[in-house]
Amino acid sequence: MIARKLLASVALSTMLTATIPLSAWAQNVVTMTTGQIFRSIDPAKVTDYTDYMGVVNLYDGLTSVEPDGSIVPALAESWEVSPDAREVTYKLRDDATFSDGSPVEAGDVVYSVERLLRINQGPASMLAGVLTPGSVTAVDNKTVKFTLAKNFAPFLAVVPAIFILNEEAVKPHEGDDDAQSWLATNAAGAGPFTLKAYDRGTRLTVVRNEDYYKGFPENPIDEVRWIVVNDEASVRAMGASGELTMTGPFQSPDTYDALEGMGYKIENHPTSSTLYLKLNNQVTPTDDVHIRRAIALATDYETIREVIFPGNRLTTPLPDTFKQFHADDVPEPKYDLEAARAEVAKSKYAGQPISITLGFLTGIKYQEEISLLMQANLEQIGFTVTQAVNPWNRVTELATKVETTPAVNQIFFSATYPSPDSMFHTQYHSSAAGTWASMEWINDPEVDKLIEEARGTGELDKQIDIYKELQHKLVDMQSDVFLLTQVSKHALNKCLEGLSIIPMRSFGYDFSRYSWNCD
Amino acid sequence: MEFASFLLKRALWSLLVLFGLSIIIFAIARGIPGDPARISLGPAATPEQVQLLRDRLGLDRPLIEQFGLFVGGLMQGDLGRSLLTERSVTADIRDTFAATFELVLVTITVALVCGAPMGVAAATWRNRWPDHVVQFVSIFSAVTPTFLKALLLQILAGYVLHILPTTGRLPAGMDFSADLTGMLLIDSVLRGRPDVFFEAIRHLLLPVIALSLASMGQIARITRASMIDVAGQDYIEANRAFGVPEHVRVFKYALRPSFVPPLTILGLQFSALIGNAFVVELIFAWPGMAAYGVRAILQKDLNAVMGVVMVSGVFFVIVNLVIDILVGYVDPRVRIRGRR
Amino acid sequence: MAHLSELAAEPQRLSNAYQNWYRFSRNPSAVIGTAIVIICILTAIFAPLITPYPEHVGAVVNFRERHLPPSADYWFGTDNVGRDIFTRVVFGMRISLLLALVVLATAVPVGTVLGLLAGYYGGWVEIVIMRFTDIALAIPGLVMVMAVAAVLSPDLLTSMIAIAALWWTWHARLIYSITRQTRVQDYIEAAETLGASKFHILFREILPNCVSALAVKTSLDAGFVILIGSTLSFLGLGIQPPTPDLGTMVASGAAFLPSYWWESVLPGCAILFVSLGFNLLGDGLRDMFDVEDVR
Amino acid sequence: MSSALLSVRDLHVDFTTYNQTHKVLKGINLDIPPHSQIALVGESGSGKTVTMKAIMGLLRQPLARITAGEMYYDGRDLLTMPDKERVALRGTAMSMIFQDPMTSLNPVFTIGDQMRTILKYADRRLGRTRSARERKVRVLEVLGQVRMRDPERVFQSYPIMLSGGMRQRVLIAMALLSEPKLLIADEPGTALDVTTQAQILKLMKDLVEERGLALLMITHNLGVVRETCSYVYVMNKGVVVEHGSTADLFAAPQEDYTKALIAAVPRLTGETRFGTVEAMR
C-alpha cells in the first residue's frame, strides 16, 4: 500500500515538473489570445472583429488597406473608376496565385462576389443596393468590372472586405448550400497563410504559405495560433509559462501591467474605434435634448479614459484619425455636475423623478465599471438608475425596436471600412435604424440627407464640408455621449514586430506584415 | 432471465424519462417570451426568413403537432441551427462532446477509485486520524463551490507554481487530432503517441481535480457509512459465528453490499457533476460541450441551449442506466424488485 | 441488531427535550454549524448596522481606492471600483440567504404535501406524483436551471423560480418514503378505525414522523441551494449589478487573480462559510435524530 | 469437573461504555450435558444473549471483558486455550442458529455461496479436504435435511427470493453443516408468524433428537421452552435466579420472577410487537 503510494507520488511529481515541450518544429510561432470565438472562417459570413482576424490571414482581396487608411493594391495591381463613378475596373496581378498554386483569375472574383450576394450575410450588408447579381463581369481573364447600381462613394474602401475564393477548389464541395458547410471548416484563398487547425470554440491555427505572391518581410512568422481564452487569469498564466506571444487589445489594464512585469512589451496604438453612450432619442427621458446634455455633462471622461479604458479624447461622432474630415472646432466635452443639474432643470422632466436605464454588455469589465461610474454620477444629479446587463445577442435583439432599446447604451463601434461614411451611415441614417449600431433612433431627415449627399458626391472638398456639418449637427443634438477613441493596447513578445492598427476591421492582424526579430 | 427483464425495465424507464425531458425542453423552448424563430435566427434575419423558419418549425400549428415535429426532429438528430456558430447544433455537439465525455469519465473514475478506498479507510480506522482526515476533506469539498476550487487550482498550479497547463486539452502546438474516439487518452494510445498521452494527462489533471473532489468526498462519506452499517449487520456477525475468517468477511461479504449506496449516490451526483462541468470547462477553456453550452446560455442561443440540455439529459440517463446495471449486478435485491 | 444495544445498560430516561439538548450539545458539528448559521443570519439581518460602508452596496465608485488589499479600513480590501468588499460580502450573504429561504419556503411545503399525498393514498395519485418526481430527478438539475434562467431574463427571481421548480421533488421523494413506512403502522390504522379525518391523519399523525428527516434535509439543502445560486451568478445568470452577489463577486474578481486575490477569494470563502454552516448543522441534526442517510 | 458437554462456572462479564463499567454477568453457572435440550430464559437485558456470546466467543473486546469464571467444552478450558483453537471450535463443535432470518443472511450472495464458504473454512479448520463439488453435495444434503423441497433451487437463490420460514431453515442448515455437537439457538423463529414458528421449532426438535445433539435454547418465551426443552435456567439482571427441569419449574416456580414469566406466557406469544410499538410512541 505504502509502496504503491510512493510510486504514485513519484509519477505525479515527474508529471508536474516536466516542462511543456517547446515547439521545435516551427521556427517563428505566434500564439495570440482572443476573448471571442471564431464564429466563422467563411469570407461570406464573417461579421465581427475575431472572424476577420482569421480571414485576413487566409484570404486576400483585390485591394488592401494601409494603417493610414489608404487603399493599396493586393490581388489587383491597378484599378480605374469611370467618370460617373458607376463603374470600377480592376486589373489582376499576373503572378497572383491561390495557396494551391493555381492562378487567380477574373472568374474567381465574379464567383466570390456572386456567392457573397447569394448568401447575403456578413460583408454583403456593406454592398446592399450597390451590387446586384450580374453587377460583376469578367472583361478578360485578368480584368473584372464592377457596375454599381447607385452612386456609392465609399465603394473603393469596401472592396478590401471582399475576399476572393478559389472557384475551382470550392466547386466540388458546393452541395446545395454554396459550399457553406465545406468553407466552414476549410479555406480556399490566396492569403499569406493556410489553414492548419480550426476548432471554432477554442483555436485557429494557420501556417505560412511559402509561395505567397506578395512575399514576406525578413524573418517572417511561420505559424500563428489563436487561442480562445475567456478570462484574464488564464491569459496571465499563459504569459507566465511563456506560451503567450501576443494578447488581443481587450485585456484588463491589470493584465497588461502583469505581462509587462513578465517581460512583454506593451504597445499603444490610437485607433478609430470609438466608445459611445448611445442615447435613445425617442424614449423618456432621453427624448429631451437637455437630459441628453445633462448625461453628457455628468460623464467623467477623464476617469474613464485614464483609469477604466485606455483612450484618447473624442469630441464628435468621428474619431480624429479621420484627419481631414474631423471638425476640429468642436470643443472637448466637459465633466461638470453643476452644469448637468442646470440642464436637467431646463428639461421638460424638471422637478419629476427621472428614472433611466443604463445598458451594457455581460461580462465586459470596463463597461461594467463605466456603467457604475455613470450611475454614481447620475444619481448625484437626481436620476434613478437601473442597470441592464445583456449578452450581445440580446442587445442586438433589443435594438430592433425603439421601445425596447434602453435609454443609454454603451456601444463600442469601429469603422468597417476606411471612410467616414462607415461611421455615419451605419450609425445615424434612418435606413440603418434597428441595429445595435444605431440605437440612437435619431430618424432625422436632415441627417439622412447629408449622409446621402456625401455618398453621392465624388468631390472630396464637398464631402469634407458635409461631414463637418454633420458632426456639428450631431454634437448639437447630443445624439450620444462621445466617450473616447480606443487606444489599443497589446502585450507582445519583445521579438515580435509589425503590429499596426488599420482602420478597417481587424486587418491589422494580417501576420504577413509581422516579423520575428531576435536572434 | 430475471436480470434480462430487469434491464428491459430499466431501459424502458430511461426512454420514458427522455420523453419527459423532451416535454420539459419543449415547454421551455415554446414558453419563452418572444418568437422562437426570430430568436433562433438572430437579429439580422429578414421577416421572410423568420416566416420560413416559422413554417418549418410549424409554429403556427397546434401545440401537440409542434411537439410531434420537435420530437421527430430530435429522433433524426436535428436540433436546429446554432445562432452562435451558424452551424447545426448536432454538428457542434458532436465536435465538442468527446472532450466533455473524456473529462467526465476520468472524473467519475477518479472519484470512485479515490473515494471508495477513502471511505473504506475511514470506516476501518473509525474515529482515528484517517477517519478525521476523510471527513474533513469530504465536508470541505462538498461545501466549496466548484468554481472556487477550479480558480484556486488554476492560480496555484498554473500561475504561482507554474507546474501545470491551465487551459485546453493539449498544448497549442501539438500536432494531433483525436479522430478515432475523440478521446485523447485513448486515441493517443491507439496511435502510439506517448507524448500526446502524457500531455493529455497533464491537461486533464487540474479540471479533473476540481470536478472530482465533491463527488469523491460524497462517495467516501457514503462508503464509510455503509461499511460501518454493513459491518454491524447480523449476517456479518453470523459469518463470524460460523468461523469465516476476517479477511473473507471484510473483503468479500462486507465490501460488496457496501458498494451499493456509493454507486447509487454516484448516479445522483452525476447530475451535479454535469452542472459543475459547465463551470470547470469554462474556467479551463476546455473545448467541450459544457463550455459550448455556457456560451450558448450566455448568448441566448436557444437551439444550442436546448440541444445541450437534451444531450446532457441523455448522457445522464445513460450513465444512470449503466449504474443501475452495476447496482443490479452487485445487489440481487435491486434487480428482483426492479427499482432502486 | 438487538444484541449490542441490549447490553448497554440504559441510562436514566431523560425528558425528550433535555435528551435532545444533551445530544445536540455533545455534537460538535451541530454546535459549530448552528453557530455559523446564526452568525450568518444575524449579519444578514443587521447588515446595514455592522458594515462600515453600507452605501457601497449601490453604485459608488472611488477609483482612487480601487484594488486596495485588506486593511483596518477595508477588512476584505476593495474591488475594481473602490468599494469595500467586506460590506458587499455581508450584503451578498443576505441575497444568498434570501435565495435559500425563498426556494426552500416554496419547495419544502409543496414537496411535503405531495409526498404525503402520494405515500398515503397510493394508487394513481402515487403514480402521477412519483413518476413525475422520478423524471424530474432524472434530469440534470443545474443544467436545467441554467437553461431556464437563460431563456428567461437572468436575474435573482428567475433563478429562484428555476431552482424551486426542481427542488420540491427531492422533498416529495423523502416524505413519500417515510409516509409509506408510517402508513402501515398500527396507530395509523387505529386512528383510521376511529374515524379520524384524512387531514388529521396526514398532518397530525404522519407528518410529525417526518419532521426530523425534513429538518436534516432542509438544512443540508439550504447549503446546496446557496451553492447552486452562487454557481448561477458566477456564470452571469444571477442578480444584476450593482447589487452585491457572492457568486458574481467571485466571477468579477477572478479577472484580477492572483494579484488582487481578495476580490474573488474572500467572497468565495463567504459562500463556503455559509454552506459549511448549513451542512454541519444538517450533519449534526442527522446524527442527533439518527435518521437514515438523507440526501 | 462435571461430565457436561459444556459447563460454565461463575462467569463474570463487564461492559465498558463511555468510561463507565457495567457489570452485566455476575457469576453465571450453567451445565449442558450431552444430548440434552436446555433452555436459558429471561427478558431483554437479563444477560442471556451475553451468556450466549461468551460461550461462542463472540464478545467484542475490549468493550466486553470476561473478568472472572471458567468455561469448559468437552473438558477443555475455553478461556485459556489459544485463539486459534477457540476459533476452530466455532461452527464446527458448537454452532449457532441466528434469530432473525431477514437480517442474518447476506442479501447480495446466493445461499449456496454463503453455505459453501462456511463449509470450506470449517473443513479447513478440521483438516478435512473436500472438493468444491463435494461441498456442494454436502450443502444440498443439509438443505434436504431441513426439509427444503427443492434444495438445488434454494442453493442458487438469493435470500430475497425465499420466504421467512425458508430462510430460517437455511439458518438452521448453516448451523448443521459441520455436524456440531452443541447447537445454540437464539430466539429461533420469533421474527416469524406463529404457524411458521411452530413448524420451525418442530423441525429443530426433530433434528436435535435424530442426531442426539445438545441444544441450548435462548428465549424469552416459556411457551417455546415447554415444547422443546427438558431443563430450564431462568436469568434476571445478570444472574441465574432459578433452574430446574421443565416440568418442575412449570409446576412449582420458586421465584416471583419466574412466576411472572410463566403468567405472561399466553400474551407473550406473537403479540410482543404491538407492545413494543406502544412503548416506542
- As to burial, measured by CB atoms within 10 angstroms (0-12 exposed, 13-18 middle, 19+ buried), residue C2 is middle
Q: In which domain, by residue range, is D33 found?
A: 6-280
Cα–Cα distance for residue pair B296/A50, rounded to 1 Å: 17
Nearest residue to D108 (alpha-carbon basis) of B259, B170, C244 = B259
- As a whole number of angstroms, the longest Cα–Cα distance in chain D is 56
DSSP structure class, residue B254: I
Below-50 pLDDT ranges, chain A: 1-26
Q: What residues in C contact D64, CB-CB < 8 Å? A: 7
**Taking a C-beta distance cutoff of 8 angstroms, is the pair B298, C236 a contact?**
yes
Shortest CA distance from D113: residue in chain B: B253
Rg (CA), chain C: 23
DSSP structure class, residue D86: H
Cα–Cα distance for residue pair D278/D281, rounded to 1 Å: 5
- Using pLDDT thresholds of 50, 70 and 90, give the confidence band for residue B173: low
* Mean pLDDT, residues D185-191 taken together: 78
Q: What residues in A contact B162, CB-CB < 8 Å? A: 240-241
Q: How far does CA B338 lie from the centroid of its chain?
A: 24
Subunits next to C (3 or more Cβ pairs <8 Å) are A, B, D
Residue A457 has φ and ψ, to the nearest 5°, of: -95, 145
Is residue D58, in this structure, part of any structural domain at all?
yes
Cα–Cα distance for residue pair A301/C61, rounded to 1 Å: 14
Shortest CA distance from B158: residue in chain A: A237
pTM: 0.78
Asked if A380 has any chain B CB less than 8 Å from its own CB, the reply is no
Beta strands D182-186 and D94-97 are: parallel
In the chain, the amino acid numbered B173 is G
Q: Which residues pair with C84 in a beta bridge?
A: C78
* CB contact (8 A) between residue C235 and residue B298: yes
Residue A364, number of CB atoms within 10 A of its CB: 18
If one compares A474 and B54, the residue with the highest pLDDT of the two is A474
Q: Which residues pair with D20 in a beta bridge?
A: D17
pLDDT at residue D58 in the model: 80
* Mean pLDDT, residues B13-32 taken together: 82
Q: Report the alpha-carbon angle B105-B109-B110, nearest 5.
A: 115
pLDDT at residue A207 in the model: 93
Is residue D19, in this structure, part of any structural domain at all?
yes
Subunits next to B (3 or more Cβ pairs <8 Å) are A, C, D
**Taking a C-beta distance cutoff of 8 angstroms, is the pair A268, A487 a contact?**
yes
Asked if B144 has any chain C CB less than 8 Å from its own CB, the reply is yes
Q: In what order do the strands lie in the sheet with A408-413?
A: A311-312, A480-492, A265-279, A408-413, A354-361, A383-390
pLDDT at residue B190 in the model: 87
Q: What residues in D contact C186, CB-CB < 8 Å? A: 274, 277
Q: Which of D99, D106, D142, D190 to mutate to test the interface with B (most CBs of B within 10 A)?
A: D106
Cα–Cα distance for residue pair D43/A269, rounded to 1 Å: 94
pLDDT at residue B57 in the model: 72
**Taking a C-beta distance cutoff of 8 angstroms, is the pair C236, A363 a contact?**
yes
Nearest residue to D220 (alpha-carbon basis) of D254, D251, D265, D175 = D265
Residue D255, min C-alpha distance to chain B (Å)? 34
Is the dihedral angle over the CA atoms B177, B179, B185, B190 positive or is it negative?
Answer: negative
Cα–Cα distance for residue pair D191/D168, rounded to 1 Å: 9
**Taking a C-beta distance cutoff of 8 angstroms, is the pair D183, D208 a contact?**
yes
Residue appearing with cell numbers 455621449: A481
Q: State pLDDT tens for residues B219-247.
A: 898 888 888 888 888 888 888 888 888 88
Q: Tell whether the model's pLDDT for residue D271 goes beyond 70.
A: no
A441: left (phi over 0), alpha (psi -120 to 50) or beta: left
Number of independent structural domains in chain D: 1
Residue D225, min C-alpha distance to chain C (Å)? 21
Cα–Cα distance for residue pair A267/C18, rounded to 1 Å: 73
Q: State pLDDT tens for residues B99-140.
A: 999 999 999 999 989 998 899 889 888 888 888 899 888 888
Cα–Cα distance for residue pair A428/C159, rounded to 1 Å: 38
Residue appearing with cell numbers 452495476: B326
Percent of chain D with pLDDT over 70: 92
Residue D107 has φ and ψ, to the nearest 5°, of: -70, -20
Q: Which of C143, C148, C152 to mutate to test the interface with B (most CBs of B within 10 A)?
A: C143
Stretch (H or E) spanning C181:
helix C156-183
Q: State pLDDT tens for residues B250-277.
A: 888 888 888 888 888 888 778 888 888 8
* Cell numbers describing residue A365: 469589465
pLDDT at residue A14 in the model: 45
A28: left (phi over 0), alpha (psi -120 to 50) or beta: beta
Is residue D1, in this structure, part of any structural domain at all?
no
Cα–Cα distance for residue pair D52/D268, rounded to 1 Å: 22
Asked if C194 has any chain D CB less than 8 Å from its own CB, the reply is no
Strands (E), chain D: 6-17, 20-32, 37-41, 64-73, 76-77, 94-97, 182-186, 214-219, 231-236, 239-245
Q: What residues in C contact A255, CB-CB < 8 Å? A: 255
Rg (CA), chain D: 19
Chains A and D touch (3+ CB pairs under 8 A): no
End-to-end CA distance of chain B: 19
Cα–Cα distance for residue pair A426/A409, rounded to 1 Å: 16
Task: Return the domain boundaries, chain C.
Answer: 28-289
DSSP structure class, residue A242: T
Q: How far does CA D225 lie from the centroid of its chain?
A: 13
Instruction: Please tell me whether residue B164 adopts helix, strand or coil conformation.
Output: coil
pLDDT at residue D155 in the model: 92
Instruction: Please tell me whether residue B339 adopts helix, strand or coil conformation.
Output: coil
Subunits next to A (3 or more Cβ pairs <8 Å) are B, C
* CB contact (8 A) between residue C59 and residue A379: yes
Below-70 pLDDT ranges, chain C: 1-17, 19, 153-154, 290-295
DSSP structure class, residue A276: E
Nearest residue to A487 (alpha-carbon basis) of A275, A318, A247, A173 = A275
Give residue ranges of A with CB < 8 Å to any C CB.
231-233, 252, 254-255, 258, 303, 307-308, 362-363, 365, 368-369, 371-373, 375-376, 379, 385, 387-389, 391
Chains B and D touch (3+ CB pairs under 8 A): yes
Shortest CA distance from A391: residue in chain C: C236
Q: What residues in B contact C268, CB-CB < 8 Å? A: 144-145, 147-148, 151-152
pLDDT at residue D18 in the model: 59
Nearest residue to C196 (alpha-carbon basis) of C211, C184, C182, C206 = C206
Asked if D275 has any chain C CB less than 8 Å from its own CB, the reply is no
Instruction: Please tell me whether residue D174 adopts helix, strand or coil conformation.
Output: helix
Q: Packing angle between helix B89-124 and helix B129-143, nearest 10 degrees? A: 150
Q: State pLDDT tens for residues B39-48.
A: 666 655 667 7
In the chain, the amino acid numbered B243 is G
Cα–Cα distance for residue pair A413/A436, rounded to 1 Å: 10
* CB contact (8 A) between residue A225 and residue B173: yes
Q: What residues in C contact A252, CB-CB < 8 Å? A: 255-256
- Which residues in chain C (247-276) have CB-CB distances under 8 A to chain A? 252, 254-260
* Cell numbers describing residue A112: 466570390
**Taking a C-beta distance cutoff of 8 angstroms, is the pair D139, D154 a contact?**
no
* Cell numbers describing residue B282: 469554462
Cα–Cα distance for residue pair A234/D21, rounded to 1 Å: 62
User: What's D146's domain CATH number?
Assistant: 3.40.50.300
Provide the H-helix boundaries in A180-300: 180-185, 232-241, 253-261, 289-297
- As to burial, measured by CB atoms within 10 angstroms (0-12 exposed, 13-18 middle, 19+ buried), residue C134 is middle
Cα–Cα distance for residue pair B311/B322, rounded to 1 Å: 16
DSSP structure class, residue C203: I
* Cell numbers describing residue B17: 424519462
Residue C67, min C-alpha distance to chain A (Å)? 10
Nearest residue to B285 (alpha-carbon basis) of B111, B177, B158, B145 = B158
Rg (CA), chain B: 23
* CB contact (8 A) between residue C2 and residue D24: no
pLDDT at residue A371 in the model: 92
Label residues C58-75 b or e (16+ Cβ within 10 Å = b).
bbbbebebbbbeeeeebb
If one compares B318 and C8, the residue with the highest pLDDT of the two is B318
Q: What residues in D contact B330, CB-CB < 8 Å? A: 108
Cα–Cα distance for residue pair B256/B227, rounded to 1 Å: 10
Q: What residues in C contact D53, CB-CB < 8 Å? A: 3
Candidates A25, A228, A237; nearest CB to B166: A237
**Taking a C-beta distance cutoff of 8 angstroms, is the pair A232, C255 a contact?**
yes
**Taking a C-beta distance cutoff of 8 angstroms, is the pair D8, D47 a contact?**
no
Subunits next to D (3 or more Cβ pairs <8 Å) are B, C
Is residue D258, in this structure, part of any structural domain at all?
yes
Nearest residue to A427 (alpha-carbon basis) of A417, A440, A408, A412 = A440
Torsion, CA C154, CA A361, CA A378, CA A253, rounded to 10: 130
Asked if D21 has any chain C CB less than 8 Å from its own CB, the reply is no
* CB contact (8 A) between residue D98 and residue B243: no
Strands (E), B107-226: none
Residue A347, min C-alpha distance to chain C (Å)? 25
Cα–Cα distance for residue pair A455/A426, rounded to 1 Å: 12
Q: What is the topology classification, in CATH, of domain C28-289?
A: MetI-like fold (1.10.3720)
Based on DSSP, count helices (H) and strands (E) in chain C, helices before strands: 13, 0
